[in-house]
Chains A and B, each alone.
Chain A
Amino acid sequence: AQSVTQPDIHITVSEGASLELRCNYSYGATPYLFWYVQSPGQGLQLLLKYFSGDTLVQGIKGFEAEFKRSQSSFNLRKPSVHWSDAAEYFCAVGAPGAGSYQLTFGKGTKLSVIP
């Protein structure tokens, strides 16, 4: 079974600073990879996804993520954080060919932004 680890529970950055949120997964092959964002009291919004091909993927709101097979990682980055990016971020994996669209989520990283 697949699993996802987000090592950082809470990260605080200053507005305008760069951001990197870490995600490591465990799966026997290359999974489908996702980053979602959740604002308080809201559902999850898809930021970006990786299925195959180019290992650097671009998403919405200026986010990008890089898939590194050798490190089983899919870290999320943003060059300059805005106050509105404060939210909780979830990394998720899906198992291709499993016959179900089930996603396995990490525990999330809460991002705080200092003005």
Chain B
Amino acid sequence: KAGVTQTPRYLIKTRGQQVTLSCSPISGHRSVSWYQQTPGQGLQFLFEYFSETQRNKGNFPGRFSGRQFSNSRSEMNVSTLELGDSALYLCASSFREYEQFFGPGTRLTVL
């Protein structure tokens, strides 16, 4: 089975721009979660989608949003980028409770 894929792998943006990251879960997985990883804050939960519905959201500003499509693929969007948004964004999919499989991440650099 193919693993979780994330595109693009690397992204460079400037402050004020917006960005969309994509995640394709493992086939059959209906849950997709997003995490932000930075050296200072570590791994922080952004949100989780299950069958196209957002089930939970972490403590991030409204500039961070996401969605899930009927094929379980998910996108996250960050609007009005700030320098502090530079991070590795990880997507994880899950078939059964809590056992999450992570993608390689998208490295976002904001200049």
Q: Is the interface of B mostly helix, strand, loop or mixed?
A: strand
* B99 surroundings in chain A (CB, below 8 A): 46, 49
Q: A44-B90, A90-B43, A108-B42 are in contact. Are A101 and B97 (CB under 8 A)?
A: yes
Q: Tell whether, in the assembled complex, residue B97 and residue A102 are in contact, meaning their CB atoms are under 8 Å apart.
A: no
A10-48 residues at the B interface, CB under 8 angstroms: 32, 34, 36, 41-46
User: Which residues between 61 and 96 of chain A lie within 8 Å of chain B, taking CB atoms?
Assistant: 90, 94, 96
Q: How far is it, in angstroms, between the C-alpha of A51 and the C-alpha of B100 when the chains are bound?
A: 13
Quick check: which of B13-21, B63-71, B73-81, B102-110 contacts chain A, the rest being far away? B102-110
Task: Tell me the bound Cα distance from A34 to B92 in angstroms.
Answer: 14
Q: How many residues from A make CB contacts under 8 Å with B? A: 25
Nearest CB of A to B45, in Å: 5
Q: Which of A49, A96, A105 contacts B43 (CB 8 A)?
A: A105
Q: State whether B90 touches A99 (Cβ < 8 A).
A: no
A103 touches B97 (CB 8 A): no
B33 touches A101 (CB 8 A): yes
The 0/1 profile, CB within 8 Å of A marked 1, for residues 40-60 of chain B is: 001101001010000110100
How many Å from the CB of B41 to the closest CB on chain A? 9
Query: B105: shortest Cβ distance to chain A, in Å?
Result: 5
